[in-house]
């Protein structure tokens, strides 16, 4: 099986490098292309055998399974270019949420899937979200589940939950690292601890917390109860956190608003441009 990647930006490169470094794919099995070819060539320097195609058409001609790792508004350009070369026996996967399975099935004559990865997959951790098109056979579904289980915990979701699930799995690392950064900055501002030391302590705390969650001795509520000694300092600190109000509701409201704008732009791109 040959696997292709169109787009080797942030997520395309994480995916193909994770598959190769875990041995899920051998570099000989991988062919990739990128608008700025030098970017793909730089990745290939570390993976002898990885083929950097001279264009997207070569990827489609030489691979059976193809990941589209470009941004939503770049899809039509890619489809216009490679569409005539896509065969019914291809399996094509989008990694971006506003491209709907129905759009993929309308634009392409083959099996399609949507898989939303996460930056956490670069260290073989975190979840990946899987959605399969109606033409996807059980063998194709199994192939994708097996591939992604090498770098993540794959979870099949209903496409109607794409946005909220992606917010948690895929945007979540950015949200949580932002909060951690604010936690560190406040420690520095309020106490004079050095940023370096606060970062070291906070990073080890969060890794320990993740381990605790993954090993599962406590649910989140029990974990808090075990740390908050009645009348103690943690409770005093938590009081301040209770004032965060609806900030997380606003996070989801904002992401969903942006998602709906993206969906409209994608629909316009596919069905109204050049008409
Ligand atoms: N980053 C994440 O954590 C994450 C997680 C899950 C899903 N995603 C999704 O993945 C998609 C890509 O995100 P990203 O962060 O990887 O963006 P990115 O870093 O901008 O990568 C996009 C890549 O696509 C290339 N490209 C654009 N048009 C092309 C074309 N016609 N042919 C070939 N290559 C082309 C770009 O090439 P150039 O080098 O010329 O710019 C760039 O390297 C987004 O839709 C995003 O929603 C991202």
Q: What is the pLDDT of residues 139-169, one digit of tens each?
A: 999 999 999 999 999 999 999 999 999 999 9
User: Cβ < 6 Å from ligand 1: which residues?
Assistant: 6-12, 33-36, 39, 56, 69-72, 74, 77-78, 95-96, 116-117, 119, 170
CATH architecture of 165-252: Orthogonal Bundle (1.10)
CATH of 3-157, one of 3.40.50.720, 3.10.20.90, 3.30.450.20, 3.40.1160.10: 3.40.50.720
Has residue 126 got a pLDDT over 80?
yes
* CATH 3.40.50.720 residue window(s) in the chain: 3-157
Contacts of 200 (CB under 8 A, 6+ apart): none
Has residue 275 got a pLDDT over 70?
no
pLDDT for residue 87: 97
Cα–Cα distance for residue pair 263/158, rounded to 1 Å = 17
Nearest CA to ligand 1 atom 30: 35
Cα–Cα distance for residue pair 222/203, rounded to 1 Å = 22
pLDDT for residue 60: 98
Burial category of 156 from C-beta neighbours within 10 Å (exposed 0-12, middle 13-18, buried 19 and up): exposed
| Cβ atoms < 10 Å from Cβ of 81 | 14
* CATH 1.10.3730.10 residue window(s) in the chain: 165-252
Has residue 112 got a pLDDT over 60?
yes
pLDDT for residue 125: 95
């Amino acid at each position: 099986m040959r696997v292709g990647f169109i787009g080797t930006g942030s997520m395309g490169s994480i995916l193909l490098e994770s598959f190769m470094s875990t041995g899920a794919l051998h570099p000989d099995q991988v062919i990739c292309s990128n608008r700025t070819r030098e970017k793909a060539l730089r990745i290939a320097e570390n993976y002898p055998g990885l083929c950097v195609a001279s264009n997207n058409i070569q990827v489609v001609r030489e691979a059976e399974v193809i990941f589209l790792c470009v941004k939503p508004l770049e899809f039509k350009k890619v489809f216009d270019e490679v569409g005539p070369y896509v065969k019914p026996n291809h399996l094509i996967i989008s990694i971006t949420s506003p491209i709907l399975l129905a759009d993929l099935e309308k634009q392409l004559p083959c099996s399609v899937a949507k898989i939303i990865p996460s930056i956490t997959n670069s260290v073989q951790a975190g979840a990946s979200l899987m959605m399969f098109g109606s033409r996807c056979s059980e063998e194709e579904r199994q192939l994708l589940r097996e591939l992604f289980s090498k770098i993540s915990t794959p979870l099949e979701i209903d496409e109607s939950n794409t946005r909220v699930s992606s917010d948690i799995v895929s945007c979540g690392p950015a949200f949580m690292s932002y909060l951690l950064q604010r936690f560190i900055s406040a420690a520095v501002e309020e106490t004079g601890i050095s940023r370096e030391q606060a970062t070291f302590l906070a990073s080890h705390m969060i890794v320990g917390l993740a381990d605790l969650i993954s090993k599962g001795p406590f649910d989140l509520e029990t974990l808090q109860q075990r740390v908050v000694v009645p009348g103690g300092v943690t409770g005093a600190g938590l009081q301040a956190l209770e004032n965060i109000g609806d900030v997380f509701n606003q996070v989801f409201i904002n992401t969903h608003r942006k998602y709906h704008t993206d969906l409209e732009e994608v629909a316009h791109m596919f069905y109204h441009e050049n008409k």
